[in-house]
């Protein structure tokens, strides 16, 4: 398999009240094409900071980040923004959407902004509707974002993350604001995308979410303290229970 994302000696330091806060410390990480990676750890351990630094939403203080063969540290801000738009997809706990746009228009907006998209608007709309149909929300395309449920809105965010056919999706607590039923629905959609070949990195505090991923990293105080290979999830109930049990036992060993 090809390596989509790799870091070497990744560090992130913030200066707060003239004091140095080392949030990430010498992170070495590789993510292979088609992998679904979960990142876990206590609050303040550096999980979201790691996701932001490897995806180019924040600049690392030192170290190397290579995404799809490109060294992000060598890219100018506009080049990095273009890389995020064209080759990455993003899903957050807070479902950021443009309030003056319909659900469908929010979904297709990244494609309309992408220079790699040479199709007519009509074709982009058709792709957006196809994604909405796949995720079971094709009946809310014309709705305002305050006229749909949290689960529907998060599935719309998944559609938006996929509209430019990204090499990798970065998800920061994508189920954190949802109830269990909606959380399961969203995870099922992410699993479906992963089975189709999309690489996913997911920061989560929920072991039930992480148990469906193929690998789990555990971060403590800005360092990778442990790593567990889970293998691909086959969606059976018994398999999920075994995976959750195994992961919970491992997390307890890590000090969860």
pLDDT tens, 115-139? 888 889 999 999 999 999 999 999 9
Kind and range of the H or E run holding 150: helix 150-162
Q: Left (φ > 0), alpha (ψ -120 to 50) or beta: where does 63 sit?
A: left
Per-residue pLDDT of the chain (256 residues; tens, 9 = 90+): 699 999 999 999 988 787 888 899 999 999 999 999 999 999 999 999 999 999 999 999 999 999 999 999 999 999 999 999 999 999 998 878 999 999 999 999 999 999 888 889 999 999 999 999 999 999 999 999 999 998 899 999 999 999 999 999 999 999 888 888 888 888 988 999 999 999 999 999 999 999 999 999 999 999 999 999 999 888 777 888 999 999 999 999 999 8
Average pLDDT, the chain: 93
Q: How far apart are CA 195 and CA 52, in angstroms?
A: 24
SS3 content of the chain, % helix, strand, coil (to 5): 40, 30, 35
Task: Give me the pLDDT at residue 86, please.
Answer: 95
pLDDT of 23: 93
Give this prediction's pTM.
0.94
Backbone Cα Rg of the chain? 18
C-alpha to C-alpha distance for 119 and 117, rounded to whole angstroms: 6
153 contacts 181 by C-beta, under 8 angstroms: no
Predicted local confidence at residue 176, as pLDDT? 86
Beta-strand runs (E) in the chain: 3-16, 19-32, 36-40, 62-67, 70-71, 88-92, 168-172, 199-203, 215-220, 223-229
Beta bridge partners of 39: 203, 217
Distance, in Å, from the CA atom of 110 to the CA atom of 161, rounded to the nearest integer, reads 8
| CB atoms closer than 10 angstroms to residue 21 | 11
Taken in order of first residue, the domains within the chain and their CATH numbers are 3-96+167-254 (3.40.50.300)
Query: Sign of the C-alpha dihedral, residues 232, 237, 242, 244?
Result: positive
Q: Tell me what pLDDT residue 185 has.
A: 87
Neighbours of 65 (CB within 10 A): 22
């Amino acid at each position: 398999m090809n390596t989509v994302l790799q870091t070497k000696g990744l560090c992130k330091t913030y200066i707060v009240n003239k004091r140095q806060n080392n949030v990430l410390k010498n992170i070495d990480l590789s993510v292979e094409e088609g992998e679904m990676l979960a990142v876990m750890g206590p609050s303040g351990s550096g999980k979201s900071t790691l996701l932001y630094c490897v995806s180019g939403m924040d600049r690392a203080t030192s170290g190397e980040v290579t995404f799809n063969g490109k060294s992000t540290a060598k890219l100018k801000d506009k080049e990095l923004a273009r890389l995020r738009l064209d080759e990455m997809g993003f899903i957050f706990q807070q479902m950021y959407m443009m309030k003056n746009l319909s659900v469908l228009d929010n979904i297709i907006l990244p494609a309309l902004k992408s220079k790699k998209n040479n199709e007519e608007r009509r074709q982009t709309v058709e792709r957006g509707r196809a994604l909405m149909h796949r995720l079971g929300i094709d009946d809310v395309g014309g709705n305002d974002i305050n006229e749909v449920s949290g689960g529907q809105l998060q599935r719309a965010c998944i559609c938006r993350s996929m509209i430019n056919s990204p090499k990798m999706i970065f998800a920061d607590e994508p189920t954190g604001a949802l109830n269990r039923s909606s959380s399961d629905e969203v995870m099922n959609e992410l699993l479906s995308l992963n089975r189709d070949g999309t690489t996913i990195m997911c920061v989560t505090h929920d072991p039930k979410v992480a148990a469906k991923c193929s690998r789990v990293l555990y971060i403590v105080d800005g360092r990778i303290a442990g790593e567990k290979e889970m293998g691909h999830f086959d969606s059976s109930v018994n398999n999920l229970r075994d995976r959750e049990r195994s992961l919970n036992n491992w997390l307890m060993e890590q000090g969860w």
